[in-house]
Amino acid sequence: MRIQHLATLLSAGFIGLALLAPTSADGAASRGKKKSEPAAEPVAIEQPIPLEPPGLAFGKSPKEVSQIYFKAIDKDHAEAYANVEPGTEQRRLDEEVQRIKDAFKKSLLVLDAPPSNLDGSLFVGEFTYKNQEAAMHTSRQGKARTLFFMRDKLWKIIDVYELGEKAKMGPTFKTAVEKLEGMTGTPGRALAAAPEAGRRFDEVDWANATTHLRVIKWGDAHAAVAFVERATEQRLSELRSHKETPQEGLDPSVKGVLR
């Protein structure tokens, strides 16, 4: 039953993840104890980590991903089409659906050279320049999603969720992570931010044979959930032969997210 519940949770976009902040030691008995080091690998789980919408998979090209999303966008508007009156209202609906599809297709950002609109954002560290990388963006079903491509193949997806009392992720990081831990049956690996190691924010992660599931602490009001193809991740040092460092300074709009 846990596998079915986790698959339903992930495919529906109801991913509850968060960072469990380590507590400081109290009292004389705890003084002098060494802080435990995190495990060398993510916490292993056997459950499948499905991607959505249906048909989306690592290795797909931007063109293939676009076609998958076009079908999903049509499905998103199926009820509206079932109730729209023929004529002017239907034409307006057609135009709106086409606008959404065009916006997704045009969102393709080839990271051939800086600068880009990803510079100065929270995504710094998730991409590089001049290494045949690209990104696409969409917002639907209560989350903002950025899809990353390496050599024309999808290899990473990052969803950004708002936190709140009525939000899908829950009101806090702690309550959100507890939901997923209940589904997986195990706590994730907690990793503190370590900029020198290329990790800008606190994270919690799990992994199965194909997918590295990361939860990234983006301030108090948002959580980012990353689905990463492990085969590509393990080859990054080879694939990213060019070392172009994106600008890390946060612009005002990004700083607002962190307040």
Confidence class for position 11, pLDDT limits 50, 70, 90: very low
Q: What is the pLDDT of residues 190-224, one digit of tens each?
A: 999 998 888 999 889 999 999 999 988 888 888 88
Q: What is the pLDDT of residues 75-132, one digit of tens each?
A: 999 999 999 999 999 999 999 999 999 999 999 999 999 999 999 999 999 999 999 9
Say whether the peptide bond before residue 53 is cis (omega within 30 degrees of 0). Answer: yes
Rounded Cα distance, 233 and 116, in Å: 23
For the chain, the structural domain boundaries read 2-14+41-61+110-258
Residues in the chain: 259
Contacts of 184 (CB under 8 A, 6+ apart): 2, 6, 43, 45, 47, 206
Q: What is the pLDDT of residue 122?
A: 92
Following DSSP, what letter does each residue of 61-114 receive, concatenated? -HHHHHHHHHHHHHHHTHHHHHHPPTTHHHHHHHHHHHHHHHHHHHT-EE-SSS
For the chain, percent of residues with pLDDT exceeding 90: 58
* Rounded mean pLDDT, 233-259: 69
Which residue in this structure is represented by tokens 């998730």?
A: 126
Q: What is the pLDDT of residues 144-166, one digit of tens each?
A: 999 999 999 999 999 998 888 88
Residue 241 has pLDDT above 60, yes or no: yes
Confidence class for position 13, pLDDT limits 50, 70, 90: very low
Nearest to 50 by CA among 216, 213, 234: 213
Here the tokens at position 154 are 């999808």
Q: What is the pLDDT of residues 21-75, one digit of tens each?
A: 333 333 444 344 455 678 889 999 998 888 999 999 999 999 999 999 999 999 9
**Residue 27: helix, strand or coil by DSSP?**
coil
Q: Considering only CA atoms, give the Rg of the chain.
A: 20
Q: What is the pLDDT of residues 55-66, one digit of tens each?
A: 999 999 999 999
